[in-house]
């Protein structure tokens, strides 16, 4: 039974119920309409301990992307109802996540069209699975480190994030975060010194399907304050701009 968008949003919101985990595993959206191929790819991604959401149509892929805001998208070029290029164009309206398109034929014109639409890779199938997973790791490392930072770590005052190891620290103490908490924390670290609007935070962390759910930001920012601030009621780092959003003070 397929979950409704409301159920998916609820599950995403309640992710903190998983408890603190040492690594916030990246999330992959696997959009492939052939079950056998999807099963094969799922096994390879599971071996890398990646989280996965699956779609068997282009429209379903867009819906899941909006709800889950994946770190990487693996997309069949001929997926049902919307092809890979159409899905890529729509995703590029809001997400910078790497998109790897899998194509049954190595057509030069289609490859150019896919890359022009915003795809990062155009890979002919059958895949050399070892090479495919190596490419996945490259894009995941780039995503985790952030496009504006060459270093694998970033420090703001006593706060530190290690994009390579997916770890968060305050001083010498590691702070264990859920996947959503880590995504929010790393985004705030990358934008230290700026005030980000509620809508901007929601779109980047939860996806455009949640851009009006301001309570998500309030609850998760409170969780970060409880984990990182000496006095959550008088925050030193995670500040609120009433009516606008939140920011991380750069020292």
**pLDDT, average across residues 95-110:** 88
For residue 163, is it within any domain?
yes
For residue 32, is it within any domain?
yes
Same domain? For 37 and 133 the reply is yes
Residue 105 belongs to domain spanning: 18-145
- pLDDT of 175 reads 95
Q: Is the pLDDT of residue 53 over 90?
A: yes
pLDDT band, very low/low/confident/very high, at 49 (cuts 50, 70, 90):
confident
Same domain? For 82 and 175 the reply is no
pLDDT band, very low/low/confident/very high, at 165 (cuts 50, 70, 90):
confident
113-143 pLDDT, tens digit per residue, is 999 999 999 998 888 888 899 888 888 877 7
Phi, psi torsion values for 83, nearest 5 degrees: -80, 175
- pLDDT of 29 reads 96
- pLDDT of 95 reads 86
Same domain? For 129 and 44 the reply is yes
Same domain? For 93 and 58 the reply is yes
For residue 49, is it within any domain?
yes
- pLDDT of 144 reads 63
Q: Minimum mean pLDDT among 18-32, 125-139, 173-187, 227-241: which range? A: 18-32
Share of residues in the chain with pLDDT > 90 (%): 56
For residue 115, is it within any domain?
yes
Residue 146: Cβ within 10 Å count? 18
Q: Is the pLDDT of residue 238 over 90?
A: yes
The answer to whether residues 212 and 169 touch, using CB atoms and an 8 Å cutoff, is no
Same domain? For 161 and 65 the reply is no
For residue 179, is it within any domain?
yes
Same domain? For 118 and 38 the reply is yes
* Residue that is last in its domain, among 145, 165, 200: 145
Q: Minimum mean pLDDT among 1-5, 70-74, 162-166: which range? A: 1-5
Q: Is the pLDDT of residue 16 over 70?
A: no
Same domain? For 65 and 92 the reply is yes
Q: Is the pLDDT of residue 8 over 80?
A: no
Same domain? For 39 and 135 the reply is yes
Same domain? For 31 and 85 the reply is yes
**pLDDT, average across residues 216-240:** 95
Same domain? For 80 and 134 the reply is yes
The answer to whether residues 97 and 73 touch, using CB atoms and an 8 Å cutoff, is yes
For residue 3, is it within any domain?
no
Q: Is the pLDDT of residue 14 over 80?
A: no
* pTM passes above 0.85: no
> What is the count of structural domains for the chain?
2
For residue 11, is it within any domain?
no
For residue 10, is it within any domain?
no
77-100 pLDDT, tens digit per residue, is 999 999 999 999 999 988 889 999
Same domain? For 80 and 192 the reply is no
Give CA–CA dist 14/170, Å, rounded: 25
Give CA–CA dist 138/26, Å, rounded: 13
Average pLDDT over the chain, rounded to whole?
84
**Helices 129-145 and 35-47: angle between axes, nearest 10 degrees:** 60
DSSP 127-181: --HHHHHHHHHHHHHHHHH-TT-SSSEEEETTEEEETTTTEEEETTEEE-B-HHH
Same domain? For 130 and 230 the reply is no
* Residue that is last in its domain, among 145, 163, 188: 145
* Residue that is last in its domain, among 113, 145, 177: 145
CATH number, domain at 225? 1.10.10.10
């Amino acid at each position: 039974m397929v979950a409704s968008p409301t159920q998916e949003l609820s599950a995403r919101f309640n992710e903190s119920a998983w408890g603190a985990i040492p690594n916030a595993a990246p999330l992959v959206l696997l959009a492939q309409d052939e079950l056998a191929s999807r099963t094969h790819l799922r096994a390879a991604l599971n071996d890398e301990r990646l989280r996965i959401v699956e779609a068997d149509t282009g429209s379903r892929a867009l819906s899941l992307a909006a709800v889950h805001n994946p770190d990487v998208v693996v997309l069949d070029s001929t997926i049902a109802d919307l092809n890979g290029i159409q899905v890529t164009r729509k995703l590029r309206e809001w997400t910078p996540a790497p998109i790897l398109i899998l194509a049954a034929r190595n057509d030069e014109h289609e490859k150019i069209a896919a890359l022009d639409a915003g795809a990062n890779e155009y890979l002919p199938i059958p895949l050399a699975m070892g090479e495919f997973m190596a490419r996945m790791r490259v894009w995941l490392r780039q995503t985790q480190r952030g496009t504006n930072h060459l270093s694998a770590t970033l420090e703001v005052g006593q706060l530190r994030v290690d994009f390579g190891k997916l770890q968060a620290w305050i001083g010498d103490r590691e702070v264990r975060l859920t996947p959503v908490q880590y995504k929010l924390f790393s985004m705030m670290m990358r934008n230290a010194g700026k005030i980000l609007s509620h809508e901007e935070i929601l779109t980047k962390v939860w996806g455009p399907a949640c851009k009006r759910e301001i309570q998500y930001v309030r609850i998760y920012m409170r969780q970060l304050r409880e984990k990182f601030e000496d006095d959550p009621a008088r925050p030193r780092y995670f500040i609120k701009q009433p009516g606008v959003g939140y920011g991380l003070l750069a020292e």
